[in-house]
Amino acid sequence: KNQVEQSPQSLIILEGKNCTLQCNYTVSPFSNLRWYKQDTGRGPVSLTIMTFSENTKSNGRYTATLDADTKQSSLHITASQLSDSASYICVVTLNSGNTPLVFGKGTRLSVIA
Amino acid sequence: GAGVSQSPSNKVTEKGKDVELRCDPISGHTALYWYRQSLGQGLEFLIYFQGNSAPDKSGLPSDRFSAERTGGSVSTLTIQRTQQEDSAVYLCASRPYTLATEAFFGQGTRLTVV
């Protein structure tokens, strides 16, 4: 069964601290993996995409990693800001044209002053 | 507009009533998805439209749920005889057919069944 598991379910950190969110997947055949940020009351917005051949990709203070062998991805946030408070959702696309995206349940991050 | 547009943004309905939720995808996007997000939960797949192919309805939770996509563009999600457990945010997303591109989400419709 195609699944995407995220951990932790929720996380509270102090402003300025770093954190790492985890995503494990059992999706096959894998095409790509995206991390989305979902602010409260809004739709998810893509942060970064990882394809099979990519190990690390950065987007500002966000760095995503992918280990296709162990089927794990992480999202590292550096020097967190209050505006980073959101849900972070890991989404995997199957390498097939007529299959839905497979979503994780997300990690709810709260950054406090 | 440039993004995915959903309407209404909020809907409160009485139990047992029917509701229609609308999604206007990004122009030219051939794939359209409906998802449901209950409070504190992840995104639950409902239905997927891809071009002129038969939709993937495997995520619809019951026969009270149905969706149409007219002319390959606008989509309507209909919930008949609404129940309180239908209360959730209903998100629509569209993307071009190419696998490597991202899905673009609307702001969602918050449905509350009282």
Residue B35: C-alpha distances to residues A9, A62, A70, A77 (Å): 20, 26, 28, 27
Distance CA A40, CA B8 (A): 17
A88 neighbourhood in chain B, CB within 8 Å = none
Residue B68: C-alpha distances to residues A4, A26, B55 (Å): 28, 31, 9
- Among B33, B45, B56, select the one facing A98 at the smallest CB separation: B56
pLDDT in tens, B60-75: 999 999 999 988 799 9
- Among B45, B99, B105, select the one facing A97 at the smallest CB separation: B99
Kindly report the average pLDDT of chain A as a whole number: 89
Residue A99: band (very low, low, confident or very high) from pLDDT cuts 50, 70, 90: low
Distance CA B25, CA B23 (A): 6
Q: What is the pLDDT of residue A29?
A: 75
Instruction: Provide, rounded to the nearest whole percent, the portion of chain B with pLDDT above 90.
Output: 66
Residue A96: band (very low, low, confident or very high) from pLDDT cuts 50, 70, 90: low
pLDDT in tens, B15-45: 999 999 999 999 988 889 999 998 877 788 8
Q: What is the pLDDT of residue B71?
A: 80
